[in-house]
Amino acid sequence: MTDGGKAKKGNRLREAAVFAVLLLAVGIVGFWEIMANRSRRPFQSFEVTPEDFAGFEPRSPGWRFTPTPVTHSAMEPNILAFRVNRQELVVRGHAPGPASGPALRSHVFVRLVHGYNMPDCMRLKGYTVACVADTHGTTGLTARARELLPGGRDADPASAPRIQFWRLTTSVGDESAWVTSMIRSGAFEGTTIDVCAMPFPRVGTVMDPDWAPEGLTLSSFKHPVRNLRRFLLGKWNNSRCDLLTFLALRPAAYASDEVLTVVSMTEPLQAGGVDLAPYFRHAVGAHRAFEEQLRQWHKSRETGRPGP
């Protein structure tokens, strides 16, 4: 083959390679656009809505349930909310053993929500969130849960559905006791699911509370590295820390319709080293009473008998 023939063959190979690269690039862009358009579709409406609980009026010995309004929307994760208190209940500093410390009374606010990640949600809102006990956690967390359950050290954490205990602290130092559990939609049975395993919302790093995305502006170029980092971090958090979602190849996960989160919280307490243990026991009592009322209400509908 002459030098001219070799040159022509080399040119054809280069042209074929360039064409193959361009074709591959077009294919990748086309696939990306299709998946990105798919991921931009609106979230499906929830099947479980507050209207499904018409007639649910929990009544439990010693507890008073007062309904509080929630936003009625097929896309709103909140389903039910109640303020719960025991009018005659006086919680004291430590149990079991002789009561000590000042008496206290505290409302408990209980919410039924489509399955979501409560700790990350509250972190995004500026709270400091710490898991202080877990009935199905590590040895240390489980031992602490035994102390915080009604019945104290005689309680058996593993015998009950999973309950997780959280201490939430505001930016000014006020603390509150929170209790969460995951239950199945329908019959409302307890589960051992970790609330942190829920993908909505899930954050990698908490955003700066003073920063809000404003798009590309002239001020963006004053600190390009910092602003690019904030943009990518916000996009990563919005993707629920999922790479395919981050790349717009999959829709972001939303709150679950199959499992529900029960959240019980006490009123915020002023900073100053308050012992939260009695508040946790108080919250767990209201929490369990609410879940039991849900299960009894479901059974009454199945059997046709009057509910609680």
109 or 33, higher pLDDT: 109
Mean pLDDT of 24-45: 67
Q: What percent of the chain has pLDDT over 70?
A: 71
Domain range list for the chain: 1-41, 50-202+253-303
9-13, 19-23, 203-207, 290-294: the lowest-pLDDT one: 203-207
Q: What is the mean pLDDT of the chain?
A: 79
What digits encode the pLDDT tens for the residues 132-173? Answer: 999 998 989 999 998 998 876 666 666 678 999 999 999 888
pLDDT at 107: 87
pLDDT at 44: 72
Contact 34, 251 (CB under 8 A): no
Nearest to 287 by CA among 170, 174, 177, 203: 177
pLDDT at 182: 97
Task: Say whether pLDDT at 278 is over 50.
Answer: yes
Q: Which residues contact 264 (CB under 8 A, 6 or more apart)?
A: 84, 108, 109, 110, 111, 178, 179, 180, 283, 284, 286, 287, 290
pLDDT at 118: 95
What digits encode the pLDDT tens for the residues 78-108? Answer: 999 999 987 554 444 444 333 334 345 678 9
Please give the C-alpha separations between residue 71 and each of 50, 51, 76, 77, 113, in angstroms, as whole numbers.
9, 12, 7, 9, 12
pTM here is: 0.75
Note the residue count of the chain.
308
What digits encode the pLDDT tens for the residues 37-94? Answer: 665 655 677 888 898 999 999 999 889 999 998 876 666 789 999 999 875 544 444 4
Question: Looking up tokens 């979230």, which residue turns up?
Answer: 43
pLDDT at 161: 86
**Cα dihedral sign, 206-210-214-219:** negative
Residue 160: which region, alpha, beta or left (left: phi > 0; alpha: psi -120 to 50)? beta
What digits encode the pLDDT tens for the residues 204-235? Answer: 666 555 555 555 566 666 667 777 777 777 77
**Cα dihedral sign, 217-219-220-221:** positive
Q: What percent of the chain has pLDDT over 90?
A: 37
